[in-house]
Amino acid sequence: MTYLEQYIALKTIVTKEMLRFMRIWLQTILPPVITTALYFVIFGRLIGPKIGQMQGFNYIDYIVPGLIMMSVITNSYANVVSSFYGSKFQHNIEEMLVSPTPNYIILTGYVSGGVCRGLAVGASVTLVAWFFSDLNFAHTLVIISTVLLTAVLFSLAGLINAIYARSFDDISIVPTFVLTPLTYLGGIFYSIDMLPGFWQNASLANPILYMVNAFRYGFLGITDIPLFTSYCIIIGFIIGLFWFSLHLLNKGYGLRT
């Protein structure tokens, strides 16, 4: 395929993916917005004032970046894992597999779809957050780059989950038992400085901690982790997951017999 043809194929996949999640916005966009709004009400307005300040900021202002990031993570992951597995389940992934579209275009197309949904939900949650807190944008470029890279990373993770999945149970196990605990323990609601020494060190093994802190730095200008370390970890994961998912597609794992 020429580069132009590859671009058309990519655009086709991305458009299809975007239309898919927009067509069912009641299932894809609205629920995370409502859930996060409830977090703002409960943790920000009701419990927040009793907690007081966290690293010099009102509690609600402190948790807003983490809550936005949480919605981006879960939605970019959920979009790719459900869409790709759904295509495998209905066999319509074969439409792409029989075509000359290279695997890296298929991969990039699905990941872009996940990124678009992650960003759409992230933007919606940010708008809701405006009603509850005084949003501050200390480093806009950091905000944009971190949210983009995180959405890419979790879209890739969702794709790998979908490739390995053999049933609908398999696509809910990882989000329930791995992603959600890691997200909640990733410093959304607290600073790791509050943890005892062992748990502080244990938290450093959680990749989500680096994303949440880099993102919070973008909003508030504070972080538990050096920004450079966060970027290195995120980019390192992206490279590793991209290579691995491309390897699985090239091998045809779970797709070609």
Partner 1 sequence: MSRALEIKNLTKTYENGFEALKGIDLVVDKGDFFALLGPNGAGKSTTIGILASLVRKTSGHVSILGHDIDTDFGRAKKLLGLVPQEFNFNIFEPVLEIVANQAGYYGIPRKLAYERAERYLKELRLWDKRFEQARNLSGGLKRRLMIARALVHRPELLILDEPTAGVDIEIRRSMWAFLREINAQGTTIILTTHYLEEAESLCRNIAIIDKGILIENTSMKKLLGKLQTDTYVLDLPAPHEAVSGLSGFSVNQIDSTTLEVEVGKDGDMNQLFSLLNERGINVSSIRTKTNRLEQLFVNLIESNQSDSP
**Which residue ranges make up the site for partner 1 (CB under 8 A)?**
1-2, 4-6, 8-9, 11-13, 16, 19, 23, 86-87, 90-92, 94-102, 252, 256-257
The CB-of-94 to partner 1 minimum distance in angstroms stands at: 5
Minimum CB distance to partner 1 smaller for 45 or for 166:
166
Minimum Å distance from CB 211 to partner 1? Answer: 32
Contact 220, 57 (CB under 8 A): yes
Nearer to partner 1, 115 or 255 (CB): 255
The answer for residues whose C-beta is within 8 angstroms of residue 135's C-beta and 6 or more apart is 64, 126, 129, 219
How would you write 77-132 as a 3-class SS string?
HHHHHHHHHHHHHHCCCHHHHCCCCCHHHHHHHHHHHHHHHHHHHHHHHHHHHHHH
Please state the closest distance from residue 243 (CB atom) to partner 1, in A: 21
Torsion of CA 97, 100, 104, 110, to 10 degrees: -50
Minimum distance from residue 27 beta carbon to partner 1 (Å):
12
Minimum CB–partner distance for residue 6 and partner 1 (Å) = 7
- Residue 65 CA to residue 55 CA, distance in Å, equals 14
Contact, 186 vs 67, CB < 8 A?
A: no
Nearer to partner 1, 78 or 93 (CB): 93
Give the residue carrying structure tokens 């797709």: 255
SS3 147: helix
Using the minimum distance from each CB to partner 1, give the nearer residue, 26 or 98: 98
Q: Pick between residue 68 and residue 96 the one whose CB is nearest to partner 1.
A: 96
DSSP H helices, the chain, are 3-23, 25-28, 30-39, 48-51, 59-90, 94-97, 103-132, 140-164, 170-174, 180-184, 197-203, 207-220, 227-251
Shorter beta-carbon distance to partner 1: residue 50 or 256: 256
Q: How far is the CB of 162 from partner 1 (least distance, A)?
A: 15
